[in-house]
């Protein structure tokens, strides 16, 4: 018996045992991979705005975005590992993120603090909707574990939306 070559090993499938059908694996892992691309895009945008924040509320906004960035980044490994656990694959490069992400980048030289927070609020709302769609897909395939993870991430994301909204809300004079 001759040893398997490195080339042969590279071509070998990542055949993770799974209770899900091939179709379910393809659907769920594919949806999680797109979701992961969006999460990375929001993470980078959140850190961008954290690094480039300015103005009278700098400290509060800077700290809030740092906390939110950490929370967003912490989702990434769980999303990717869930795709692998069910038998699928996930992101392999920043190029793949750029191809798949639905969240728009912001490369502007200057963005006002209010616009930063409003844009992140809208991006996180979009992320909630995307996670709800993946949750529906998980329900179709009876993937309760992924659905459960999504429920926690939806709650965390809704909290970010709330904080970003409240930080930009204009209270009328005399109120």
Residues 143-175: pLDDT tens digits?
A: 999 999 999 999 999 999 999 999 999 877 765
Judged on CB neighbours under 10 Å (0-12, 13-18, 19+), 171 is exposed
Judge whether residue 9 has pLDDT over 80: no
pLDDT in tens, 70-82: 999 999 999 999 9
Q: Tell me which fold the domain 20-168 belongs to.
A: Ferritin (1.20.1260)
Decide if 161 contacts 125 (C-beta within 8 A): yes
Total residues belonging to the chain: 175
Report the alpha-carbon angle 45-71-113, nearest 5: 40
**Per-domain boundaries in the chain:** 20-168
Full-model pTM:
0.90
Distance CA 138, CA 16 (A): 19
pLDDT at residue 16, rounded to an integer = 83
């Amino acid at each position: 018996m001759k040893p398997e070559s490195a080339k042969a090993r590279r071509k070998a499938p990542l055949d993770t045992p799974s209770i899900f059908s091939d179709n379910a694996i393809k659907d769920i892992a594919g949806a999680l991979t797109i979701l992961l691309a969006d999460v990375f895009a929001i993470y980078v945008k959140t850190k961008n705005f954290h690094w480039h924040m300015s103005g009278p509320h700098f400290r509060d906004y800077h700290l809030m975005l740092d906390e939110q960035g950490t929370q967003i980044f912490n989702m990434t490994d769980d999303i990717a590992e869930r795709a692998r656990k069910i038998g699928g694959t996930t992101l392999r490069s920043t190029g793949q993120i750029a191809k798949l992400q639905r969240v728009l980048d912001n490369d502007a030289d200057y963005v006002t603090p209010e616009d930063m927070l409003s844009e992140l609020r809208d991006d996180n709302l979009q992320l909630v909707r995307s996670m709800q769609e993946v949750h529906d897909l998980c329900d179709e395939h009876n993937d309760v574990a992924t659905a459960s993870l999504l429920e926690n991430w939806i709650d965390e994301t809704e909290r970010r939306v709330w904080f970003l909204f409240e930080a930009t809300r204009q209270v009328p004079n005399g109120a």
